[in-house]
Structure 1
Amino acid sequence: MQWQASSRSFSSESGKRALGGPVSLKSLALTFATGGAVLYYFNHARERKLVEQTQSAKQVGVGAAAIGGPFELVDQDSKKFTDADLRGEFALIYFGFTHCPDICPEELEKISGAIDAVEKSTSVQIKPVFISIDPERDVVKEVKAYVKKFHPRMIGLTGTPEQCQAAARRYRVYYSKTTDSATDYLVDHSIISYLLDPEGKFLTFYGKNMEAEQIATSMAEEIKAYQARTASS
């Protein structure tokens, strides 16, 4: 069962605790409904918190300290990739996993379309970046084949579980496996894309509720504002 609020999917922990006895359809439905409502609230609360952090950071000029920061992963060509490699261009980062059946592909297609639109209207190149939150399955080969489906310049990043977790924490990304199976599982995660400036500093984020056109408009505005700030400094 999938919940498309701000997380990939949902598998109730209370459903796991019920393994000791029979579960009726009615009780199972109630379990999922309750769990889904909790997850829906949780993820929307996270997005609201990000909004507050973003607004506060912009007011005091410390956006980079609030969201983002150092990380070390490997790209789809097995080369080391760090936060320093994001600098020099605007970047749009999305955290997801290659076995995601629908939400991740939809979001990656959406942000790829938004990037193409902005590049056409502003002549400014934006670096699309996919970071795996499922490194156990998302090995380099898998990531390389996956990112090719969405944008010719998309960078795919993976690493050890510890490296991916550290990168996710830098961007306040929540994720959790939905089952105990070693190979057959989905991953609950925040559905958020992060826009960074050419200095690698966080500018703003986009949730699942935003359409490609809205994202493109916002990115164009952020680019214009950044160019104005740097021109006057």
Structure 2
Amino acid sequence: MTRIQKTVFILVALVALVVGLTVYKVLNTEQQLDTADLLDAGIVMLPQGRDVPNLTLTNQDGEQVSMKALEGRWNLLFFGYTFCPDICPATLAEVRQLRGQLPEEARQRMQPILVSVDPERDTPEQLKKYLDFFGAGFIGLTGSLDDIQTLANAAGVPFIPGDTTKEDYTVDHGGNLALIGPDGRLRGFIRAPMRTEKLAEQLPAVLALE
């Protein structure tokens, strides 16, 4: 075998190896993420990630937090508020239950975040007091109504602001949770109502993705 033939042979072998690894990775990922099982658990993955605006909001400790700073983990965004009479406490309790059912590795890769749709009343102090009740490592974010609406629309979970001129006003919002990947992009949703047992089975495979 001549030197040229050897070189060609090596290059062909390398290409075959790369292609083989790529196919294996794709097939392995598809095997992990069975669409039917995910949907049955209430998980909807997008074909392609969507950009999320790099806004800066304020957390429950009064610190400025940018969406960029949250990259590196899977963030589970729930758009709700602390004065919500029903959906919010029920959903946060379900998220707490879900976290308790996940393996430790999956739990460390997921950060649940409550983004307030009621910044008029949800000060950092109010968020902290509310989230401490659930005791599950939640982050709370608040900020200007315009910024929150921009983020909610980009995350595919819009809401209708409450009429702050009325006493004990409510805010119309959905119960779905947005899945923001470690790359900072919207990657999917968890539909309400949550099915915690099925989610505990299917979500670890999603959280293992980069």
Specify if TM > 0.5: yes
Report whether the alignment pairs 1:204 with 2:188. yes
Give aligned pairs, total: 168
Report whether the alignment pairs 1:215 with 2:202. no
The residue identity in structure 2 corresponding to 1:191 is G
Output aligned runs, 1:40-189, within 5 Å.
Answer: 57-58=46-47, 62-65=48-51, 68-120=52-104, 122=106, 124-177=108-161, 181-189=165-173
C-alpha distance in 1, partners of 2:146/2:78?
A: 18
Taking a change above 3 Å as real, the CA distance of residues 124 and 177 of structure 1, as seen in their structure-2 partners, is: closer
Taking a change above 3 Å as real, the CA distance of residues 189 and 131 of structure 1, as seen in their structure-2 partners, is: same
Structure 1 or 2, whichever has the larger Rg, is 2
Number of the residue aligned with 1:42: none
Taking a change above 3 Å as real, the CA distance of residues 177 and 115 of structure 1, as seen in their structure-2 partners, is: same
CA RMSD, aligned part only?
2.3
Output aligned runs, 1:4-19, within 5 Å.
Answer: none
Taking a change above 3 Å as real, the CA distance of residues 122 and 160 of structure 1, as seen in their structure-2 partners, is: closer
Deviation at residue 191 of structure 1 after TM alignment? 1.0
User: What's the secondary structure of 1:111's corresponding residue?
Assistant: helix
Deviation at residue 199 of structure 1 after TM alignment? 2.0
C-alpha distance in 2, partners of 1:209/1:123?
A: 20
Q: Contact 1:177–1:185 (CA<8 Å) still a contact in 2?
A: no
Deviation at residue 223 of structure 1 after TM alignment? 2.2
The structure whose RCO (Cα within 8 Å, separation 6+) is larger is 2
User: What's the secondary structure of 1:149's corresponding residue?
Assistant: helix
C-alpha distance in 2, partners of 1:180/1:121?
A: 42
C-alpha distance in 1, partners of 2:207/2:125?
A: 33
Deviation at residue 150 of structure 1 after TM alignment? 1.8
**Alignment identity in percent?**
28
User: What's the secondary structure of 1:148's corresponding residue?
Assistant: helix
Give a deviation string over 1:195-221, Cα, whole Å, max 9, x none.
222222223211213311222223212
Runs of 4+, deviation exceeding 6 Å = none
Q: Contact 1:90–1:197 (CA<8 Å) still a contact in 2?
A: yes
- Structure 2 unaligned segments of length 5 or more: list them: 1-41
Give a deviation string over 1:123-147, Cα, whole Å, max 9, x none.
6432111100011111111111111
Deviation at residue 122 of structure 1 after TM alignment? 4.1
C-alpha distance in 2, partners of 1:158/1:100?
A: 15
Taking a change above 3 Å as real, the CA distance of residues 177 and 197 of structure 1, as seen in their structure-2 partners, is: closer
Deviation at residue 181 of structure 1 after TM alignment? 3.7
The residue identity in structure 1 corresponding to 2:141 is L
C-alpha distance in 1, partners of 2:50/2:167?
A: 36
